[in-house]
Structure 1
Amino acid sequence: MPLHDLLLGLDVGTTNIKCLALDSEGKIIVQADERTPLSRPKPGWTDFDPEPIWLAVCRTIRAAVAKVELPDSIKGIAVSGVAESLFPVDKAGHSLGPAIAWFDLRTTAEFAWIRDRIGYDRLFQISGLNPDPMFGLCKLLWSKNHQPELFQKAACWLHMADYIAYRLCNIPATDPSLACRTLAYNLAERAWETELLTEVGVDADVLPPILRSGTLLGPVTPAVAKETNLPATCQVCVGAHDQLSGVFAVSGLAKEVVTDSLGTSATILAIAEKPVFSRALPDHGLAQGAVWIDEPLFYLTGGLFTAGAAIEWFQQQCGGKADFATLTEEAAGADHAIPIFLPHLVRSLTPFPDAQAAAAFVGLRSTTTRGAMFRAVLEGIAFEERAIVEAMETVAGQPRPKEMITIGIPMQNRLLAQIKADVYGLPLKISPVREAVALGVALMAGIGTGVYANGSAAAAAVRQEEISLEPRPDQAKALEARYQVYRDLFLQLQPINHRLHR
């Protein structure tokens, strides 16, 4: 891109709204953030109210633009956001009401009705998803049942990222990575499943066109330019689901790479060339979806609910006054009486979904130290993630990856990363990217505005040198034996945990 051209990436998440500017050398030059406003109208309910969200987005964009030396150099913007939350908009483009948060399960009755009417197997064969009340179609039916006047007025329903892009340029659109989180997207055909929608009483016309991420939509409206201080020439482009945006930024959606994202939870994601319509997939806690940047692709994902949360739990409950660095140092020196830790502090997901699974230390000795226990926590996270990767191979037929890229591990925490490399038996790279989601959609804006020829060129432009770790043969051999014990322990403790939860 010309020397002064800038691209904006906007990430509207559950907790924070983030906006960054990317320069001609692929460097993040400014960023701004603000808390995402949430509304809780009733106990157990959570909404995203459109106007508070929009005003917070405008403030965040203005804050980022204010830090830019030449605001007129901002060439384009794209948006990522959470899935499964749909905003209703009328024919005139006015917001009609809030979006139900993705984790709000008030739609349980609607889900049961869809499941009974359509059938679990048919829903899975259409969407490739394990049907659940959180998906978008259930929220549309909740509105139809509880807000009939609003439902009749709604001309379009838009995911968070699509809604913000619509507010920016007045053009409705979505991409496959968001569309596939509705239950109404035909994964094999890569299109809305109109027959299903008709059967449940939803007009297919209320869902937006499905376009490739990075497709140019149009310039911001004059009102938006005034409200955000964006230049009137700034072009809005189609974004993507936050998870896929982040993976694109760090791996370019490379097929031979598995991405390991560590936060409170952990998500393992692999790119696939075709969907899998075997019930073994949801039975093993694996999910799938679609993404389209350079070519139509699919992805597989599995997760651990308590990864970073298990580390934090141990530090708070067992670490005394020791900080993370001290615990890590102690764990690095632990070489005997190391127990096995099962990290299921909040149920298990992949490869054995079990709402009654529980965490456990097994093999404690009088000589077991705090460092040995903390090392067991780190190993337990790595063991569970290896089990996820193996499930992708055995259940979904995914080829063994050539390497893994991890994001979310602090660059200085080499121990956890090295344990993962040893457990996986694969080269592991630690990505230095910190705002991967916003960076990913900034690249999509670059594709749409012609700054980058395609997704491969965009990802290459921001590729940073990673720390690369190779598995150590001696450690890998020892951990292999411990991993096999770990796998046996889960199955052997499962009936005991079920008895404890009666």
Structure 2
Amino acid sequence: MKYVIGVDLGTSAVKVLLVNQEGEVVKEAAKAYPLIQEKSGYSEQDPEEWVEKTAEALAELAAGFNGDPADIEGISFSGQMHGLVLLDERHRPLRNAILWNDTRTTEQCRQIYEIAGRERLLQITKNLALEGFTLPKILWVRQHEPEIFQRAKVFLLPKDYLRFRMTGKIHMEYSDAAGTLLLDLEKKEWSKELCRLLSIDPAICPPLVEPHACVGTLSKEFAERCGLKETTKVFAGGADNACGAIGAGILSEGSTLCSIGTSGVVLSYEERGDKDFQGKVHYFYHGKENAYYIMGVTLAAGYSLSWFKDAFAKKESFDDFLKGIDRVPPGSDGLLFAPYIVGERTPHADAAIRGSFIGIDSSHTREHFIRAVIEGITFSLNESIEIFRKSGKRVDTVVSIGGGAKNETWLQIQADIFNAKIIKLSSEQGPGMGAAMLAAYGCGWFESLEECAKEFLQTKKVYEPVEENVKIYQEMYEIYKNIYSQTKVLSHQLKNFRK
């Protein structure tokens, strides 16, 4: 039996999966690492933490593997998007990585529009300038840390830096490059025009490869450190959402994914890269060659729930924390939650907006608040689905992965709010499985990713929308959509009082 490894470099932890040729997860390991948040809106990590913790996780995986390490043929990656890693001439990090959920770059986004123009930016990149993207981070470092920027020779994204440390080779693949705001999406090349307009040396942009491309093998040092073989092939991998799409079988027109992790995304497959969504949703390159996807983002999806738990029930397990929410009726007896606790992305690109509970009544219990948080997250995700539908897309079946797929009540809430069938997969490993599938395809196990998906992925359960609940949620959703406009001014006024 042959094996591949999928490495999922997330925001809070790295998870590694050992997958066999039948798509079974034979072993897995995970290692956590901290966020560095010195100020409100700042979010950084030490890139060396990714390397150390991945090495530890792979060593644990190899130690528990009973087979021959030579039978592990390939490794590929999924990674948190948009993060900036600046390297010097010796390819050493110049500073901490600035992550996707860092919102310090509002001024740099304004500068991009002022210099390049909103419409021209959309024509080239298919995306708006948002604080989370990589280009504004590059401009921020240039403006606020010029002595560091002068020493920068190349920039990478998080999983690309990890892969470099494992192979010694510098590359970036298209699905992550599409989230930098420097890629010409249709031409599949770095935009010389944007580099010229923004006075960025194109030389800092790394060579581009396809997500399934083999970019080398493990270095001797890293292989020995982890108990693996130098002959293990290393594949480029993809952005976490692109890999999540692969790992959920979102590989053809009409298929839609809901992934709820720290952030939440709703993602739908696109065959072409020349459509115009006017920046209402993200438009990125897929992990499948010559394919694309559109995506809406809720910045604090699972994070809203984990924040609430840590604030009010830190010592409880999640299972105990969620007990009783099935007894609270749809709509939480008139309690609404807006999950804007770190700002919002779709459809409101606003770094200063903050969350709120609306309609608190003395009859509400803890279970009401917990269910309202879950419903609020799902309402936010539904705003992306509404955009998809208004663009002409059919969304009647959604594959749900991540934290939102681990609770039966939440899956039914998704079915009712989305008014669509929700599919739960038998083995839901999300982006890590997508990374493993890229490695399996790259190793030649299958002729296509579609063939790989047929072998690796099976449906466990389908959740149908309940008509009575759908009606309640449609009424609540219309009220929910007013929260942003009604609280925007207050949130912005309160900004000066936050740390």
TM-score band by shorter chain is: 0.7 to 0.9
Contact between 1:336 and 1:368, CA under 8 Å: does it hold in 2? no
Max Rg structure: 1
- Contact 1:37-1:53 at 8 Å conserved across structures: no
Whether 2:51 is the aligned partner of 1:58: answer no
Amino acid at match of 2:170: P
Check the 8 A contact 1:340/1:361 in 2, yes or no: yes
Task: Answer whether contact 1:311 1:378 (CA < 8 A) is retained.
Answer: no
Question: How big is the shift at 1:276?
Answer: 7.2
| Alignment match, 1:295 | 290
Structure 1: distance between partners of 2:53 and 2:492 = 48
Instruction: Give the structure 2 partner of residue 211 of structure 1.
Output: 209
Instruction: Note the residue ranges of structure 1 that are not aligned, 5 or more in a row.
Output: none
Q: Name the % identity.
A: 23
Q: How much has 1:193 moved relative to structure 2? A: 0.3
1:250–1:433 Cα contact (<8 Å) kept: no
Q: Secondary structure at the match of 2:420?
A: coil
**Aligned AA (2:166):** L
CA contact (8 A) 1:319 1:327 kept: no
**Correspondences of 1:186-265 after superposition (within 5 Å):** 186-265=184-263
CA distances 1:348-383 after superposition (whole Å, capped 9, x unpaired): 54334564465334385x776665665555444443
Is residue 432 of structure 2 the alignment partner of residue 464 of structure 1? no
Deviation, structure 1 residue 290: 1.6
Letter aligned with residue 338 of structure 1? D
Q: CA deviation at 1:317?
A: 5.3
Q: Could you say what secondary structure the match of 1:338 adopts?
A: helix
Q: Write the deviation string for residues 253-275 of structure 1: whole angstroms up to 9, x where unpaired.
A: 34322211223543222222345
Measured in 2, the distance between the counterparts of 1:211 and 1:8 equals 20
Please name the residue that 2:436 is paired with: 442
Q: Tell me which amino acid in the other structure corresponds to 1:435.
A: Q
CA contact (8 A) 1:86 1:159 kept: yes
The whole-number CA distance in structure 2 between the counterparts of 1:426 and 1:336 is 18
Q: How many angstroms does 1:391 deviate by?
A: 1.7
Separation in 1, partners of 2:180, 2:203: 15
Q: 1:359 matched to which residue of 2? A: 356
**Greater displacement, 251-260 / 172-181:** 251-260
* Residues 329 and 222 (structure 1), Cα distance of their counterparts in 2 relative to 1, 3 Å cut: closer
Which piece of structure 1 moves more, 210-219 or 375-384? 375-384
Report the 3-state secondary structure (helix = DSSP H, G, I; strand = E; otherwise coil) of the residue aligned with 1:10: strand
Verify: 1:475 aligned to 2:469, yes or no.
Answer: yes
Distance 1:330-1:113 versus aligned 2 partners, 3 A rule? closer
Question: Separation in 2 of the partners of 1:154 and 1:7?
Answer: 34
Q: 1:393 to 1:221 in 2, by over 3 A?
A: same
Choose 366-375 or 15-24, whichever is displaced more. Answer: 366-375
Q: Distance between the aligned counterparts of 1:48 and 1:327, measured in 2?
A: 30
3-state SS, counterpart of residue 77 of structure 1: strand
CA contact (8 A) 2:328 2:371 kept: no
TM-score by length of 2: 0.84
Corresponding residue for 1:31?
28
2:265 aligned residue = 267
Instruction: Letter of the 1:460 partner, please give it.
Output: K
Contact 1:50 1:95 in 2 (8 A): no
Q: Could you say if the C-alpha distance between residues 271 and 96 of structure 1 is closer, same or farther in structure 2, counting changes exceeding 3 Å?
A: same
TM-score between both structures, scaled by the size of structure 1: 0.84
Number of positions where the alignment pairs a residue of Structure 1 with one of Structure 2: 491
Counterpart of 1:408, as a letter, is: G
1:399 to 393, 412, 427: 393
Q: How much does 1:238 deviate?
A: 0.9
Instruction: Render the CA deviation track for 1:454-477: whole Å, top value 9, x for unaligned.
Output: 211222222033210112334334
**Correspondence for 1:97 among 87, 94, 97:** 94
The residue aligned with 1:184 is 182
Residue deviations 1:147-186 (CA, integer Å, cap 9, x gap):
6676555443221211222222233222222101222111
- 1:344 CA drift (Å): 3.7
CA contact (8 A) 1:77 1:445 kept: yes
Deviation string 1:69-113 (CA, Å, 9 cap, x unpaired) is 22121101112222223334456x532523532244555555454
| Residue in structure 2 matching 1:421, options 407, 415, 418 | 415
Q: 1:179 to 1:324 in 2, by over 3 A?
A: same
When residues 340 and 304 of structure 1 are mapped into structure 2, their CA distance, relative to the original with a 3 A threshold, is farther
Q: Distance in 1 between matches of 2:261 and 2:83?
A: 22
Partner SS, residue 169 of structure 2:
coil
Q: CA deviation at 1:319?
A: 13
**Is the CA contact (8 Å cut-off) linking 2:250 and 2:269 kept in structure 1?**
no
1:126 is aligned to 2:124 = yes
Question: Match for 1:389 among 385, 389, 393?
Answer: 385
Cα 1:230–1:104 shift into 2, 3 Å: same
AA matched with 2:285: A
Name 1:490's counterpart in structure 2.
483
Opposite residue 388 of structure 2, the aligned amino acid is: M
Q: Following TM superposition, by how much is the alpha carbon of 1:339 offset from its aligned partner in structure 2, in angstroms?
A: 1.2
- 2:92 aligned counterpart, secondary structure: coil
Provide the C-alpha distance between the structure 2 equivalents of 1:134 and 1:189, rounded to a whole number of angstroms: 23
What residue is the counterpart of 2:155 in the other structure? 157
The code of the aligned residue for 1:414 comes to E
1:77 corresponds, among 70, 75, 78, to 75
- Contact kept, 8 Å, 1:431 with 1:466, in 2: the verdict is yes
Q: CA deviation at 1:420?
A: 2.2
